[in-house]
């Protein structure tokens, strides 16, 4: 080999060693289609954009062919890139809803109350994915879904509404004195007062999701879910909220951010995200993106931003859609 070729070969080798390729992005899938919260077509796009803006994720969406309650934010439907859907007056099972969960590092549910059951094979596919070490994230009303699906309720830890009762597991909450309670008393599940600014108390400060957050911080206008109950197995309550609306269903500190182990998989459960103004809250955005990263990888690399809320001040970021245009309805054109 000539001296020139030898030098060139060494240079190329050093370049490869000194300039490693960028790490692969986290593959995230948002699933939706049926939710009693009218914001869902928009909140899916908001969550997708929030994740992509971190630079850590590539995000895709899978949606049931039959949708429910999509009218208010129908302009956002085409942005999901999932093809034609049919909006119905009542939820209906889509027999062809078969996401390839195994292709993703984390799956985020934006389903809600009264969502129709998935095909049994799809339920089993999610269970197998999680048993093998997948990641799952439940956002707001996703914990209302599928009350009779045992394994799903084990994944989310606590759920609301859907005729859940003491047979499904205990209420879990903190008292005003700071005691964690598992309450098996009889009663239904799921309640909330009007949306308002909720003080959030971090209960586990050294978890990757909450590390660096102030001990107490304020949401934007949101619902404080209460009276959730479920198996609550292998579950850690990271943060709680106290309903200060004046019409609180309880005088307790209710679980807001939770993590659950299911098989080899990790679950992040947030009850925040009631409407678009709720999803604009910096507390929601940051806890959500950090929670998704943790569910996917078991760690969090995102710093707490300077505009994170404090105990006295709620902060928000007005949502601006990037790199896309809304499809106007005939009434708007």
Q: What is the pLDDT of residue 324?
A: 73
Whether 7 is covered by a domain: the verdict is no
Q: Tell me the DSSP string of 173-226.
A: EE-TTS-EEEE--S----B----EEEEEEES-TTSTTTTTS-SEEEEEEE---B
Give the domain extent around 43: 25-297
Pairing of strands 253-262, 235-242: antiparallel
Selected residue with higher pLDDT from 15 and 78: 78
- 79-119 per-position pLDDT tens digit: 999 999 999 999 999 999 999 999 999 999 999 999 999 99
**What is the CATH number for 201?**
3.40.50.880
Q: What is the pLDDT of residue 328?
A: 62
Q: What are phi and psi of 25, to 5 degrees?
A: -75, 155
- 303-321 per-position pLDDT tens digit: 999 999 999 999 999 999 9
Q: Does pLDDT of 126 surpass 60?
A: yes
Q: Does pLDDT of 1 surpass 70?
A: no
Whether 142 is covered by a domain: the verdict is yes
Whether 1 is covered by a domain: the verdict is no
Residue 118: name the closest of 34, 47, 48 by CA: 34
Cα separation, 267 vs 235, in Å, equals 9
Q: Does pLDDT of 15 surpass 80?
A: no
Q: What is the pLDDT of residue 330?
A: 44
Total count of domains within the chain: 1
Whether 253 is covered by a domain: the verdict is yes
Cα separation, 254 vs 248, in Å, equals 11
Q: Does pLDDT of 268 surpass 80?
A: yes
Q: What is the pLDDT of residue 131?
A: 99
Q: What is the pLDDT of residue 211?
A: 99
Q: What is the pLDDT of residue 327?
A: 64
Mapped onto helix, strand or coil, the DSSP state of residue 169 is coil
pTM, two decimals, is 0.92
Q: What is the pLDDT of residue 116?
A: 99
Whether 3 is covered by a domain: the verdict is no
Q: What is the mean pLDDT of the chain?
A: 94
Mapped onto helix, strand or coil, the DSSP state of residue 88 is strand
Whether 323 is covered by a domain: the verdict is no
Whether 12 is covered by a domain: the verdict is no
Q: What is the pLDDT of residue 7?
A: 37
Q: What is the pLDDT of residue 8?
A: 39
Whether 8 is covered by a domain: the verdict is no
Q: Does pLDDT of 6 surpass 60?
A: no
Angle in degrees, 0-180, between the axes of helices 40-53 and 282-297, rounded to the nearest 10: 70
């Amino acid at each position: 080999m000539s001296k020139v070729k030898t030098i060139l070969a060494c240079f190329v080798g050093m370049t490869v060693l000194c300039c490693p390729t960028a790490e692969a992005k986290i593959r995230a899938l948002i699933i939706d289609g049926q939710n009693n919260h009218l914001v869902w077509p928009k909140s899916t796009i908001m969550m997708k954009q929030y994740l992509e803006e971190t630079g850590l994720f590539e995000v895709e969406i899978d949606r049931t062919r039959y949708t429910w309650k999509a009218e208010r934010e129908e302009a956002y439907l085409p942005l999901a890139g999932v093809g034609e859907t049919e909006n119905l007056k009542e939820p209906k099972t889509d027999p062809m809803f078969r996401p390839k969960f195994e292709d993703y590092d984390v799956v985020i549910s934006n389903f809600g109350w009264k969502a129709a059951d998935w095909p049994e094979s799809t339920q089993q596919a999610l269970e197998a994915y999680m048993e093998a070490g997948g990641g799952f994230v439940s956002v707001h009303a996703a914990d209302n879904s599928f009350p009779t699906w045992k394994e799903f309720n084990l994944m989310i830890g606590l759920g609301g509404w859907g005729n859940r009762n003491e047979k499904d597991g205990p209420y879990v909450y903190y008292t005003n004195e700071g005691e964690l309670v598992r309450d098996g008393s009889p009663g239904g599940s799921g309640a909330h007062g009007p949306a308002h600014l909720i003080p959030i108390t971090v209960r586990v400060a050294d978890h990757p999701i909450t590390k660096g957050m102030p001990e107490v911080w304020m949401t934007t206008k949101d619902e404080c879910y209460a009276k959730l109950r479920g198996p609550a197995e292998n579950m850690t309550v990271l943060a709680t909220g106290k309903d200060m609306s004046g019409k609180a269903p309880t005088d307790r500190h209710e679980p807001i951010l939770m993590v659950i182990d299911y098989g080899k998989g990790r679950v992040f459960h947030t009850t925040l995200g009631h409407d678009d103004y709720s999803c604009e809250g910096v507390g929601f955005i940051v806890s959500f993106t950090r929670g998704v990263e943790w569910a996917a990888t078991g760690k969090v690399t995102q710093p707490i931003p300077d505009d994170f809320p404090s105990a006295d001040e709620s902060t928000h970021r007005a949502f601006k859609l990037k790199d896309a245009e809304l499809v106007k309805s005939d009434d708007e054109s």
